[in-house]
Amino acid sequence: MDISYPPETETFRAEARAFLAETLPPDWKGIGALDEDDAWAFARDWRRLLVARGYLSLTWPEEYGGRGLSKLHQVVLMEELALAGVPFGLPQDTFGVKMLANTLLRWGTEEQKSHFLPRILSGEDIWCQGYSEPDAGSDLASLTTRAVPDGEEWVIDGQKVWTSGAHHSDWIFVLARTNREASKHRGISFLLVPLDQPGVEVRPFRMMSGQLHFNEVFFDGARTRADLVVGGVDNGWTVAQSLLGVERGEEAATNPILFRAEVERLVELARLYGKDQDPVVRQRIAWCWSKIEIMRCLGYRILTGWLKGAEPGPESSIAKLYWSEYHTEVTDLAMDIMGLHAQVPVGRPPLRTYRTDDPGAANSSASWSTTYLIARSGTIYAGTSQVQRNILAEKVLGLPREPRLTSP
């Protein structure tokens, strides 16, 4: 396997490193080292710097405010940002910049791209994702939220759940059933819907970590314009599947970096609690380290397919299952190292509401115990571990399909 990068991307890497050296303080340890208010202030200012440099829209065509560079340039940028301990924009940029913008570039009309892309880039429009429903999470094609035409508008009724950041968002991209006569994977459309309107109710609910991140979103006669369908009416499933592949390459490159930094912090935690010479703790830390190396090699495999433009395949399920199950083990170890101290969290909890704490975070019991709780949700969101195992059993191993319940 040749894992070297071509010269043009290494030139860009030098540019990115120079930018980081010029803009970050000399004593920079990572955004996780800041307190909550300072971290949010830094993240907002940092986003403006990324926009001005063209980094937030690196692969977009120049006519939409991008730099027109390749996917591999994007991977290099994400690697350098992760190593420096700085974010790629604000949390909701995952949905606006990464997911929706790339979906519009592939499937959107010229009017949709010209209107929404500049507003996404400027941060004027904040987006969230309306996919999962109470009875259609991992089996997304079973969704029941409906959209029916009414003159020049769509009228939407139904409910979405686990909607990250909806209470901070202006718009939501929604999968809704627009043809009840079609099979469940067909007859679904991808709609762009404003949240600030009568007929939309957003209800945040508190996670067991104590954070407010997820929401329920209720649609009761909500409306959006008829031309705000992306990819054509009844073609939403195809559009949705392409969106799910957007982050594969970036995550394949950055996950090993973030998880390795977490293990390095875990080693320091063991030293702090005088457990670094305990043979069982040392063995468990070595196990974690070996898993990170496997994750890195798996990432190269996924990255290769992503750069070639391949659609998401079984390797996506392998990666999701791998890192989410691993993360429960490494956070279990952190709790065991802290012992009773873990039951009385002190210090700043993590700023991030998924995966690891931010680079540079202190080894506080609040950081580790909250990350421990967050790790459990990682085995549920973006496809549960059980569903990922079913996918791999049926599509990779060729095992019989799980029996489906039928109505009497």
**Which member of 79, 80, 133, 247 is catalytic?**
247
| Beta strand residue intervals within 199-306, DSSP E | 200-206, 212-225, 229-230
Quick check: 209 pLDDT over 80? no
Mean pLDDT computed over 37-66: 96
* 408: pLDDT strictly greater than 80: no
Contacts of 87 (CB under 8 A, 6+ apart): 31, 43, 46, 81, 358
Task: Give catalytic status of residue 63 as yes or no.
Answer: no
| 157-166, 200-209, 301-310, 339-348: range with lowest mean pLDDT | 301-310
- Per-residue pLDDT tens over the stretch 285-297: 999 999 999 999 9
User: How confident is the model over 52-89, as pLDDT tens digits?
Assistant: 999 999 999 999 999 999 989 999 999 999 999 999 99
Rounded to two decimals, what is the model's pTM?
Answer: 0.90
Predicted confidence band of residue 251 (pLDDT cuts 50, 70, 90): confident
Type and span of the H or E element at 368: helix 365-378
CB-based burial of residue 350 (10 Å sphere; 0-12 exposed, 13-18 middle, 19+ buried)?
buried
In this prediction, residue 185 has a pLDDT band, given cuts at 50, 70 and 90, of confident
